[in-house]
Amino acid sequence: MSEDSVFKENLFKGKKVFITGGATGMGLGFAQAFLNHGAEVFIASRKEDKLKQAAEETEKKFGKKLIWKTMDVRDNETVEEAIEFLNSEWGELDILVNNAAGNFVAPIASMSENAWRTVVDIVLDGTFRVSKASYPLLRKAKNGASIVNIIANYAWNAAPFVGHSGAAKAGVLNLTRTLALEWANDNIRVNAMCPGVVLTENVKQNLMLDEKTAKTFEDYIPIGGVTNPEKMAQQVLYLCSPAADVITGDMLIADGGQWLVGNAFYQMGKKFLDE
C-alpha cells in the first residue's frame, strides 16, 4: 500500500469502485489508491492499450488486479455495456468517480463548435450519462454509496481560454448538488473534488505549453505547489470514507489556495490577447 496514505489499509475492503478515465493521470492514481485500501476497482475509457498498460503496471507495482473495459462516455451504448458488465460482475456499486475529461487551451473567438461540443459532451454530458446509468447499481450498495465528480477551480468563476471546460465543469458542479438532493433518499452522497495543478501527460501536452507557463501556475499556488495524483487520491478517499458520511452536495477544493490568489489561466492565456 502507498506509504503516504493516512487511511487504514482495509478502509475500502469489499467496496466496488468505478472510475471513468482511470487508465491515466489522476484517475489511475485514484484507482491504485482504492485498490491499495482493499477495494475492487473497475476503470473504463476509450483506448484499450492505455487500459491494458494501466492494469499491467498496477499488477507489477502493487500485485493487485484492475478490472477494465473500453467505454466512451459520449456513447450511451458503451456506457450501458459497462454497467451491464458491472451488474453481472458485482450486482452493485459503492463508489463512482466521474473523472474522464478532455481539455485544451483555445480562446472562445477561435473555438470551433465541434471543439466546444466535444469537451462539453465528455465532461458534462458524460457525467450525466455515467451517473444515471450507474444509479440502479449505486442504490443497491449495502451501506450507502458515494459519487465524486472531478471538477476544476475555474468551475465557479471565469475559465479564460478553457471556456468549454469551464462551462462543462460548472455544469458538473450544479449537477453534483442536484443529485445530492435527488438521491439522498437512496443513501447516495454526491460531492465534487477540485484538484490542484497535477502535471499529468494530458496537462503537459495540452495546457503547460512550456517551462514559463508551468512557472506561472506555480507562482499562483500559496501552499503545496504543483501536486500529484497520490495526494489528490487522498482527497477522493476522504470524500468516500465514513468520516465524510455527513457531507453531500459539497466540493472539496484541494488546490493549495490557488483559486483565492488569481486566475492562472488568465495570466497564462493572455498571450492570446496580446498577439
Which residues contribute to the site for ligand NAP (CB under 6 A)?
20-21, 23-27, 45-47, 50, 71-74, 99-103, 122, 150, 152, 195, 197-198, 200, 202-203
Q: How far is the CB of 208 from ligand NAP (least distance, A)?
A: 9
Residue placing its CB nearer to ligand NAP in the complex, 74 or 140: 74
Residue placing its CB nearer to ligand NAP in the complex, 38 or 111: 111
Backbone φ, ψ for residue 24 (5° rounding): -135, 165
Residue placing its CB nearer to ligand NAP in the complex, 23 or 39: 23
Q: How far is the CB of 53 from ligand NAP (least distance, A)?
A: 10
Pair 172, 194: CB distance under 8 Å: no
Q: How far is the CB of 143 from ligand NAP (least distance, A)?
A: 27
Residue placing its CB nearer to ligand NAP in the complex, 27 or 163: 27
Q: What is the C-alpha separation between 22 and 3, in angstroms, rounded?
A: 21
CA distances from residue 94 to 97, 168, 175, 186, 207 in whole angstroms, order as listed: 10, 25, 19, 12, 33
Which residue stretches of 98-198 are H helix? 113-120, 126-139, 163-182
Q: Which residue is nearest to ligand NAP (CB)?
A: 25
Q: How far is the CB of 142 from ligand NAP (least distance, A)?
A: 28
Q: Please count the other Cβ atoms lying within 10 Å of the Cβ belonging to residue 222.
A: 11
